[in-house]
Amino acid sequence: MSLRRVILYAGLTVSLSSLAFSLGSWTAQRAMAAQLAANDERLAVLQEHVARSILRTREAVSVPSATTGEQAAGGGGQPSGGDAVAAAGSPQSALIDEIKRQLQAEMGLLPVRLLRERRESFVELNATDNFGKTSYGTAGYLGSGYFITVKHGVMALDEPAGRERRRITSVTIRYDDRALPVQIVDSGDATAEVHPGDWAIVRVREEIDLPPLRVDASFPFEFAEPIFRLGNDYSKGIILSTGYVGQRMSNGLVTCLTDGHPGVSGGGVLNQQGDLVGIPVGRMQGDYRFSFILPVRREMFRKVPGFNPAIETD
């Protein structure tokens, strides 16, 4: 076979292959276009059906009512032309509220409104020592100018021997973009950090407007119970962290699976009702995921006038 004929056959083969490929692509595109058109048509029919169903539902349930406060014609305050029941106080509303409550209980959720209220009860706490070093933490408001925090945030603890003793020379809280000085009113017997006596009560003399915390001194800290932590996380403001109760330690502290970042010491550990049940006092060495929580006790509030740390219900 001559070289010319071989080239001719090869060119013909390539041409036929290209033609077949183009024809196949065109056929596939036509089929795909037809399928998309059919899908769009079915989708349009479905949308129209859903729209009509919603419209029928609204016409059957919703009855227009004036917003002037006047009663609708027909007397008795009932709108004419239907038996629609007001959403507030209705059985449907009660059922929805109950479902929300159960979901919150099962999933360990805290209502956003309650979270915002509790967040406003915590402030940044700063302390400066005699070496000029400043540390930061958190304090929770109890009312009447009193705050609860950690002792190691306002007093120097566990100082090694053979060096000049460290002393806290000033303590302030951040309120309304101002640094307000605080006075130490009471504290526990801690001589080191992460200790059951690592708590303190401080007071601001100036008048402040913050929502006081509710306190539950009987929270059982059952294993895997959901908790919420609010603290001055890395001195970036009061930040929320969620977690779960671990186990009670022999010294009275509780381990919890929640962030233990610097600055959250003295913050608040809340239960699902938003009550203060503990304060973060430290974390496991080298691991920010596990925190040590100090459960609140009645003795902590002995010098807060008129404060009763019993569970309060709305």
**CA pair distance 64, 80, nearest whole angstrom:** 9
Indicate if the pLDDT at residue 28 is higher than 70. Answer: no
What is the mean pLDDT of the segment spanning 96-107? 51
Are the C-beta atoms of residues 198 and 206 closer than 8 Å to each other? no
The two domains 119-204 and 226-297 share their CATH topology (first three levels equal): yes
What residues are paired with 144 via a beta bridge?
none
| Residue 209: band (very low, low, confident or very high) from pLDDT cuts 50, 70, 90 | very high
Are the C-beta atoms of residues 177 and 138 closer than 8 Å to each other? no
What is the pLDDT, as a whole number, of residue 289? 78
Q: Quick one: tokens of 205?
A: 């003399």
Q: Which helix (H) or strand (E) holds 279?
A: strand 276-283
Lowest mean pLDDT among 121-130, 163-172, 286-295: 286-295
Are the C-beta atoms of residues 156 and 129 closer than 8 Å to each other? yes
| Interstrand relation of 254-257 and 146-149 (parallel, antiparallel or unpaired) | unpaired
Are the C-beta atoms of residues 227 and 271 closer than 8 Å to each other? yes
| 134-188 per-position pLDDT tens digit | 999 999 999 999 999 999 999 998 766 667 888 999 999 999 999 999 999 999 9
Q: Which CATH architecture describes the domain 226-297?
A: Beta Barrel (2.40)
Q: Which residues contact 251 (CB under 8 A, 6 or more apart)?
A: 195, 196
**CA pair distance 139, 119, nearest whole angstrom:** 11
Are the C-beta atoms of residues 146 and 307 closer than 8 Å to each other? yes
- For tokens 């059957």, the residue is 60
**CA pair distance 233, 138, nearest whole angstrom:** 9
Q: What 3-state DSSP class applies to 249?
A: coil
| 242-268 per-position pLDDT tens digit | 899 999 999 999 999 887 889 999 999
What is the mean pLDDT of the segment spanning 279-300? 88
Task: Give the type of residue at 304.
Answer: V
What is the pLDDT, as a whole number, of residue 302? 94
The residue that leads in pLDDT, 260 or 206, is 206
Q: Domain residue spans in the chain?
A: 119-204, 226-297
What is the pLDDT, as a whole number, of residue 181? 97
Task: Give the type of residue at 261.
Answer: H
Indicate if the pLDDT at residue 279 is higher than 80. Answer: yes
The residue that leads in pLDDT, 65 or 223, is 223
Task: Give the type of residue at 213.
Answer: L
| 51-77 per-position pLDDT tens digit | 555 455 445 444 333 333 334 344 444
The residue that leads in pLDDT, 296 or 7, is 296
For every residue of 76-121, DSSP letters joined together read TTPPTT-----STT-HHHHHHHHHHHHHHHHHT---HHHHHHHHTT
What is the mean pLDDT of the segment spanning 276-298? 89
Are the C-beta atoms of residues 242 and 290 closer than 8 Å to each other? no
Are the C-beta atoms of residues 150 and 281 closer than 8 Å to each other? yes
Indicate if the pLDDT at residue 10 is higher than 80. Answer: no
What is the mean pLDDT of the segment spanning 88-99? 56
Q: What is the DSSP letter of 223?
A: T
Highest CATH level, class, for 119-204:
mainly beta
What is the pLDDT, as a whole number, of residue 99? 52
What is the mean pLDDT of the segment spanning 127-132? 94
Query: Percent of the chain beyond pLDDT 90?
Result: 47
**CA pair distance 139, 267, nearest whole angstrom:** 6
What is the pLDDT, as a whole number, of residue 30? 61
Task: For residue 210, count other CB atoms closer than 10 A to its CB.
Answer: 18
Indicate if the pLDDT at residue 292 is higher than 70. Answer: yes
Q: Which helix (H) or strand (E) holds 281?
A: strand 276-283
